[in-house]
A and B are shown apart, each in its own frame.
Chain A
Amino acid sequence: MSTIVEALTLSAPAERLRGRLEGSPLARRAEIFDLDLPTIEVAAEDWLALARFLRDDPGCRFDLYLDLAGVDNLRRPGRKTRFEAVVHLHSLTHNEHIRVKVLLPDAESPSLATAIDVWPAANWFEREAFDLFGFQFPGHPNLRRILCHDAFVGNALRKDYPPGQRWFFAEEDLRWPDWAKDTDARAGHFETQTISIGPSHPATHGIVHLIARLDGERIVRAETQIGYMHRCFEKMSETHTWNQVIPYTDRLNYVSAMINGVGYVRTVERMLGIEVPKRGVLIRTILSEFSRIMDHCVNIGANLVDMGALTNFWYLFQNRENIYSLLEACCGARLTVSYVRVGGLAIDVPADFVARCRALLESIPTFVDDVEKLVTNNRILRNRFQGTGLVTKEQAIGWGFTGPMLRASGVAYDVRRAQPYDFYDQFDWDIPIGTDGDNFARYLCRIEEMRQSLKIIRQALDIFPASGPVNSDDWHVVLPPKDAVYHDMESLIYHFKIIMEGIRVPKGERYDWIEGANGELGYYAISDGGGGPYRLKVRPPCFPMMAAFEKIIEGGSISDAVATLGSLNIIAGELER
């Protein structure tokens, strides 16, 4: 906390946390700070004990493992250690987020105990930190590279790794899991065979590689390999200014690009402490909800295509085309919109924005109804969806699920309701939840969420100001109007400073999160006072789901695995960043 003075009095959640810790053996070994979130700082050797305490203590119950971000403090003087592992947790019981910083004193081989036994969700997050930062996790069952290819040398997100340095990768370099190398005879059954699905396969939705051992048609063991789409978002954001990162965020979850941008700029805005006018916020909300509908359209459409129901795809995609037209009218781009800016939007919406939105509110339900009529009671769909891809409530929480996947398993956690942001607390809408936790429940949840999004949009349009600014008037952050830039010196200087140097975000850090189309989308940003992020970590909603995929499909057949993969809503750009 080099720049933030520790407050004498802690906020209520942090104080409560301190009270709980008082009674434990960890009391003197963990420090509590009050940043944007209650933050516990702990040494590596105490991490596992603290983890167990945070999960099990009735006053804590941090059961949702959200994210693990490595931080390299090489160019950030004044920190206690060069490496930190920053974990974000959520308590469904108390509806609170916290941050735990694990200090890793050994700069040569930073190491901390694995938390897989406490939260199974830690599995892939720890592999990622191993890959990109070189953190060691003693006790981890499968500590291999996950995002970078197997011939990669070095740890890409360390500050001393050059952003553009590549390593040659050939087919024979691909490392298979050890169990897959066993000969079929050793596996004990004459019908057992190991197959490889992907990386390029029509059912893999982007590029995912599944290695599965089959006994007859039943999957007895599986492992997912990813990294075929790792395009270095986090390293790129460290080499660009705050506003230049916005186009990169669009390409995380490119199916609902707008939501990613909103999540990112909200984080930066709250670091800066600036407010966006109501009109700007509502435009973001409306377009985000339309994006959520688009996302569910693609997800359901593609999922059904995988099972042979092509017609629905055309129906659902026509919805997307209609929404694309709205986005195109607003900002000129269809898919990767880059419409938001820190402090507001790139430009105001066209004059017929409200009319266009209302027209969409009329047309979208008819498409959704058509799809429902076609497939919801379809015998084949039900046979393939009901009872497949089962995830129980406990599993979903343990694996770190959020979004429709979690809700379909019966947990009514939606960020828009649990920690309302923007104007979500003023809207009347319902959270659809499932009870069965199977593919069918997820399908129904998504269908209903589209209707609820329409409901939100309708209410947002009712309170939408007909005119007014969309941008903050803080010219340290927002570009002054072009007219002013051409005619007065001061505006020209502001313009120059923002373009050439980037926005100056105060030193500090922030984790901010919103409800993405497939779960909690979080951004953990660290600023060292420069024009761009020192570190920017995305909490990708589909990462923990993909990590659990190999467990979900065990015991099922290949065809069930295909249906399940489609229902997870995996977006490669966000999964691997």
Chain B
Amino acid sequence: MFGRGKALPGHGADKGTAPGGAVDSGPADFLTTRLETMVGWARSNSLWPLPFATACCGIEFMSVVSSHYDLSRFGAEVVRFSPRQADLLIVAGTVVDKLGPTLRRIYDQMPEPKWVISMGVCASSGGFYRAYHVTQGIDEIVPVDVYVPGCPPTPEELMYGILELQRKIQAGEKSRDTRSAKAAEGSRYLWSPGERTPDEKSDPVKPAAG
């Protein structure tokens, strides 16, 4: 399965520490690696995505899993609509404030380990909907591992995002940042909570306390 005596990517060999490595002499039906490398390799190539498709990006996501682009080439085609069976949340499309609690609940229902791809600019930052009912990026609500820009991203861009996520999984990187706690504390008034300058014309003026 792994060829003969090959070290897997991410193995110490390519960092120069060489704790083990390839055995060149004669036929060898074994390999040496670290457990976490092995697990990362397995995880990254058997992603089960949950498409949280809300809008236009959802239609492009359909393209990605359809016959023409065929996401199964990257081991990520087993689309699951139950969060309990998925380990990759692909948020495809605009998330509005009314949907925020639902998104958080779905994320919380997914078992560890889990990853999040934010597909499209709306999910990443609110996009050009800088408006009274649109969440200015899902990282207000859930931690995001890979942001895929585009409105909507082309299938190739999403695939690149998935490959990028696979690289991160193999390397053991994980995002834990979320701005939700900040947004939730204190007043029920929400200033477009992205760290943006408040002095643009379209931004609201924060009302006096009370």
Contact = CB atoms under 8 A, between A and B. Distances in A.
A317 B68 contact: yes
A314 interface: yes
Contacts of A207: 54, 99
A388 interface: no
The SS class assigned to the A binding surface is: loop
A200 B94 contact: no
A7 interface: no
Contacts of A573: 55-56
Interface in B82-99: 93-94, 96-99
In this complex, which of B59, B67, B98 has the most chain A Cβ atoms within 10 angstroms of its Cβ? Answer: B98
Contacts of B53: 206
Given A168-B188, A206-B53, A227 B132 contact: no
B98 A231 contact: no
A164 B202 contact: yes
A156 B132 contact: yes
Interface in B109-144: 122, 128-134
B163 interface: no
A166 B190 contact: yes
A164 B106 contact: no
Interface string A108-152: 000000000000000000000000000000000000000111011
A316 B154 CA distance: 19
B102 interface: yes
Contacts of B101: 169-171, 174
Interface in B142-196: 151-152, 154, 183-184, 187-193
B203 interface: yes
A148 B187 CA distance: 19
B34 interface: no
A166 B97 CA distance: 8
Contacts of B128: 236, 247-248
B96 A231 contact: yes
Interface residues of A, number: 51
B55 A254 contact: yes
Contacts of A324: 63
Contact of A229 (B96, B130, B131): B96
Given A231-B96, A334-B154, A163 B202 contact: yes
With a 10 A CB-CB cut-off, give which of B54, B132, B189, B193 has the most chain A CB atoms. Answer: B132
Interface in A310-366: 313-314, 317-318, 320-321, 324, 334-336
A10 interface: no
Contacts of A572: 54-55
Given A165-B204, A251-B55, A251-B56, A336 B132 contact: no
Given A156-B133, A229-B55, A254-B55, A167 B190 contact: yes
B204 A162 contact: yes
B205 interface: yes
Contacts of A239: 202
Interface in A181-201: 199-201
A206 B54 contact: yes
B168 to A, nearest CB: 25
Nearest to B69: A321
Interface of A: 147-149, 151-152, 156, 161-171, 174, 199-202, 206-207, 227-232, 235-236, 239, 247-248, 251, 254-255, 298, 313-314, 317-318, 320-321, 324, 334-336, 572-573
Given A149-B98, A152-B133, A229-B54, 16 more contacts: A149-B97, A156-B132, A164-B202, A166-B132, A167-B97, A168-B183, A170-B101, A206-B53, A206-B55, A228-B102, A231-B131, A232-B132, A235-B132, A317-B67, A321-B66, A321-B68
Interface of B: 52-56, 58-60, 62-63, 66-68, 81, 93-94, 96-102, 105-106, 122, 128-134, 151-152, 154, 183-184, 187-193, 202-205
25 contacts: A149-B98, A156-B133, A162-B202, A162-B203, A163-B130, A163-B131, A164-B131, A164-B204, A165-B190, A166-B193, A168-B184, A168-B188, A170-B184, A200-B106, A207-B54, A227-B96, A229-B55, A229-B93, A229-B96, A229-B99, A231-B131, A232-B133, A334-B154, A572-B55, A573-B56
- 7 nearest A-B pairs in the assembled complex, by CB-CB distance: A232-B131, A254-B56, A165-B204, A162-B204, A171-B101, A149-B98, A166-B190
